Structure 1
Amino acid sequence: MAAGEWYACLDPELDALRAAARRAVHQHNTMAPDERGRMAPALQALFAAVAAEVVIEAPFHCSYGINISLGAGVYLNAGCTILDSAPVAIGEGSMLGPGVHIYCAEHHKDVALRRAGLETARPVMIGRDVWIGGGAILLAGVTIGDSAIVGAGAVVTRDVAPGATVVGNPARVLR
């Protein structure tokens, strides 16, 4: 999985990693806001990197957590989902609206191999000062450049240049 090659997502070792993530996510989503603060301790400990003043609103969901890196001042609004089968990096000052989904996994096109749980994963990289509108979906392997804007409900299937604004399904540059 980490090498970007085909892997079996039904592997017991991966099941254990997902179980640890579910426990951390549960803590984050069920703690009283005054106790949780900006982010539940178990979730912060799970992530690869968390800089200062990151805020993750509840509810939140991730697959593994161990592949997520968040820069200073990152804000994830309620309902964000990060399926981090590969690295996901969100740069300093970036904001994700409610219900933003990030998907790193891609399932096999061959039915028999898909039924066997074979998938591959590609990283998603989000630059600094990016704004991603509510309900947007970022697919595996995309990079969002610094200061870009992704409109609400957009489905991002390709890289977004720094400073660009994209909207729609599939997302296209707004002129």
Structure 2
Amino acid sequence: MTQTEKEKMIAGQFYFAQDTELVASRKEARRQMKKINAQEDDQLRQQLVQEVFGTSGNHLYVEPNITFDYGFNIHVGENFYCNFNNIFLDTCPIIIGDNVMFGPNVQLYTATHPLEPVKRNSGLEYGKPIQIGDNAWFGGGVVILPGVTLGDNVVVGSGSVVTKSFGDNVVLGGNPARVIKKITENEPSNPLDGLRAKIDHIDDQLLELLTKRLQIVGDVAQYKAEHKLPILNKGREEEILARLVPSNDAALTPFLKENFEQILRLSKEYQAKIIKDPHHEK
């Protein structure tokens, strides 16, 4: 028996998105979204959401605005809480367990496209389902990519992008998300773990920024090589240190100065490696 484009879509196969039935379903979804997002009464909004979702528990709370492709591919359990401006691209099923909380601007994407440009330009699309276990908590701005499965008791930090699946009892953070810590039932609160998690998050940001900085340093080295300019520009270094190192914090100033001096030293070494300057002193 020949499959409809809708059946192919839900099964994660290639399908034609401009199929008449699917176009009509998306138009109906937009009509329902307008009703849901305009409804000021919480109870009536809940009823409208339950009518649109594929399945749901008896208790859920959805703040406006919520956005979805179809609605019928979204399945949520009991006690689902959805904060402002959540997005569900539900070309494939999105299955969410009990006692799940989403912060604002959470985005779940099952939709994807072929990598090959000929297939992509032909209008063929496909998706991969997303499954979230019980007792999940997603911070604001979390993005879940196609095909991800998360176990029970998973916490995802704000702004994280989850690109692969993880099991139970983990805290995830970063882009791409990784395990920050494991959750032990009824574990005592340890402030040190929280502080270390914050440091890990900052380290992830530093890595990204330092990588970008070195890439630009490489461009500077190329320019200097082409124009036969020296690597060391003492005036430029003094200007950087004066701008970045505070002079009003006696405790932090020497450590910050040393950090930036190290960054500048390594930048010169990286330039020398690119230019292959035999006179450069490391």
TM-score normalised to the size of structure 2? 0.59
- In the alignment, the residues of structure 1 paired with residue 138 and residue 118 of structure 2 have an alpha-carbon distance, to the nearest angstrom, of 36
- Matched with 1:74 is 80
Is 1:169 aligned to 2:175, yes or no?
Answer: yes
Question: Unpaired segments of 5 or more residues in structure 1?
Answer: none
- Paired amino acid for 1:80: N
- Matched with 1:11 is 19
59-68 or 41-50, larger mean C-alpha shift: 41-50
- In the alignment, the residues of structure 1 paired with residue 145 and residue 139 of structure 2 have an alpha-carbon distance, to the nearest angstrom, of 15
- In the alignment, the residues of structure 2 paired with residue 100 and residue 23 of structure 1 have an alpha-carbon distance, to the nearest angstrom, of 22
Match 1:135 to one of 141, 157, 173: 141
Question: Unpaired segments of 5 or more residues in structure 2?
Answer: 1-8, 182-282
Equivalence map 1:114-125=2 (5 Å): 114-125=120-131
Is 1:148 aligned to 2:157, yes or no?
Answer: no
Percent sequence identity is: 38
- In the alignment, the residues of structure 2 paired with residue 101 and residue 145 of structure 1 have an alpha-carbon distance, to the nearest angstrom, of 18
Alpha-carbon distance, 1:38 to partner:
6.4
- Matched with 1:55 is 61
**Conserved 8 A contact 2:136-2:153:** yes
The structure, 1 or 2, with the larger RCO (C-alpha pairs under 8 Å, 6+ apart) is 1
- Matched with 2:30 is 22
- In the alignment, the residues of structure 1 paired with residue 167 and residue 11 of structure 2 have an alpha-carbon distance, to the nearest angstrom, of 26
**Conserved 8 A contact 2:46-2:61:** no
- In the alignment, the residues of structure 1 paired with residue 92 and residue 115 of structure 2 have an alpha-carbon distance, to the nearest angstrom, of 19
- In the alignment, the residues of structure 2 paired with residue 9 and residue 39 of structure 1 have an alpha-carbon distance, to the nearest angstrom, of 29
TM-score normalised to the size of structure 1? 0.94
Shift in alpha-carbon separation, 1:23–1:43, aligned structure 2, 3 A = farther
Equivalence map 1:74-113=2 (5 Å): 74-113=80-119
- Paired amino acid for 1:45: E
Shift in alpha-carbon separation, 1:85–1:104, aligned structure 2, 3 A = same
Alpha-carbon distance, 1:89 to partner:
1.0
**Conserved 8 A contact 2:157-2:174:** yes
Shift in alpha-carbon separation, 1:22–1:40, aligned structure 2, 3 A = farther
Alpha-carbon distance, 1:119 to partner:
1.4
Say which one has the larger Rg.
2
Alpha-carbon distance, 1:123 to partner:
0.8
Is 1:160 aligned to 2:139, yes or no?
Answer: no
Is 1:31 aligned to 2:39, yes or no?
Answer: yes
**Conserved 8 A contact 2:66-2:86:** yes
Q: How many residues align?
A: 173
- Paired amino acid for 2:25: L
- In the alignment, the residues of structure 2 paired with residue 75 and residue 125 of structure 1 have an alpha-carbon distance, to the nearest angstrom, of 16
Alpha-carbon distance, 1:90 to partner:
1.0
Q: What is the DSSP-based 3-state SS (H/G/I as helix, E as strand, rest coil) of the residue aligned with 1:50? A: coil
Q: What is the DSSP-based 3-state SS (H/G/I as helix, E as strand, rest coil) of the residue aligned with 2:126? A: strand
**Conserved 8 A contact 1:7-1:120:** yes
